[in-house]
Amino acid sequence: MAVLSKCGTSNPIRYHSKVRKDLDVGLAPEEADRGAGPRDNVQEGNPANAKEASSTESVPGSRVLWSIVFRKLRPITELSAKELLRTWWEVVLCHYELWKGGIHHRDISESNLVYYRNAQDVAVGVLNDFDLTSTTEGRQGNKRTGTMPFMAIELLDQEGPEDHITHQYRHDAESFVWILAWLTLHYANGTRLPRKHRPLKTWLSLQAVECGDKKAMFIMRQQHKIVPLPSQTENWRVVRRGLEVVGIHYLLFRHAPVVVTMEEVFEKWLYNLVKGILS
């Protein structure tokens, strides 16, 4: 990869630390404080585990109560313009690092992109809801998973449910492009637009194959007719570039299967979209 050589390293962790530094999006997971160890392996309601973790003897049938406190997260739809784009990119990076570590989310959708504000009042993107996640060590299901309007076109094909398609990184990367299109065209200044001004809303009610056809048609023809609101003009340019890359992939795929590495997809489908904007 050209960017790897430009950074002077082929180490993915160092490379993405460099990318994050260039785009000023904070620390990657590998750069966070390593002093905190994992929590005790105690399953709620399991007396054996409770006894192991306790410093005192537990009587049979005892329970250990765990209170799990999460930071309050807000929907990314509240954001707009460059703040929306930057927060979306935070989630893209988080997802990529997880995938490299063998954790495959497989359900990139509007409701799963959230954020919080740090002490400097900067929105920080968070990837939520890992119910459909698979791991490289575990069983790799090849049933199509995801939320219809945001799923990759390849997964919406009629062969999708027939155990022929394994979920790849490029499928989630394509979902990130569709998510940004959805957010850009359906929201403005943190508010959802009236129904008549949401051009992709019908995708929610379509069957898989029909939805895939609509998305392919949108890439080829309909996107050129879209005029976004002024606050979303820059983000729409990013979306257009992303759709062009996805469209080229499928045009080539029609003639022969396209083999692309995860790094190539990340760079060409996602990183190249924002590198001149968020730097």
Residue ranges, comma separated, of all CATH 1.10.510.10 domains in the chain are 75-274
DSSP the chain: -HHHHHHT---HHHHHHHHHHHHT----GGGS---PPPPP---TT-HHHHHHH-SS---TT------------EEGGG--HHHHHHHHHHHHHHHHHHHHTTEE-----GGGEEEEE-TT--EEEEE---TT-EESSS----S--S-GGGS-HHHHSTTGGGT-----HHHHHHHHHHHHHHHHHHEETTEEPPGGG-TTGGGGGS-HHHHHHHHHHHHHTGGGG----GGGHHHHHHHHHHHHHHHHHHHHHTTS-----HHHHIIIIIIHHHTTT--
What sign results for the dihedral spanned by CA atoms 226, 23, 27, 117? negative
Predicted confidence at residue 144, as pLDDT, reads 54
Residues of the chain with pLDDT below 70 are 1-61, 105, 129-146, 158-165, 254-259, 279
Predicted confidence at residue 66, as pLDDT, reads 84
Predicted confidence at residue 132, as pLDDT, reads 55
Predicted confidence at residue 63, as pLDDT, reads 80
Domain 75-274 has CATH 3.30.990.10: no
What sign results for the dihedral spanned by CA atoms 251, 161, 130, 49? negative
Predicted confidence at residue 215, as pLDDT, reads 93
Predicted confidence at residue 45, as pLDDT, reads 42
Predicted confidence at residue 39, as pLDDT, reads 39
Point out which residues pair with 133 in neighbouring strands.
none
Predicted confidence at residue 55, as pLDDT, reads 46
Instruction: Report whether 239 contacts 187 (CB < 8 A).
Output: no
The torsion angles phi and psi of 210, rounded to 5 degrees, stand at -65, -40
Predicted TM-score of the model (pTM)? 0.72
Instruction: Report whether 146 contacts 106 (CB < 8 A).
Output: yes
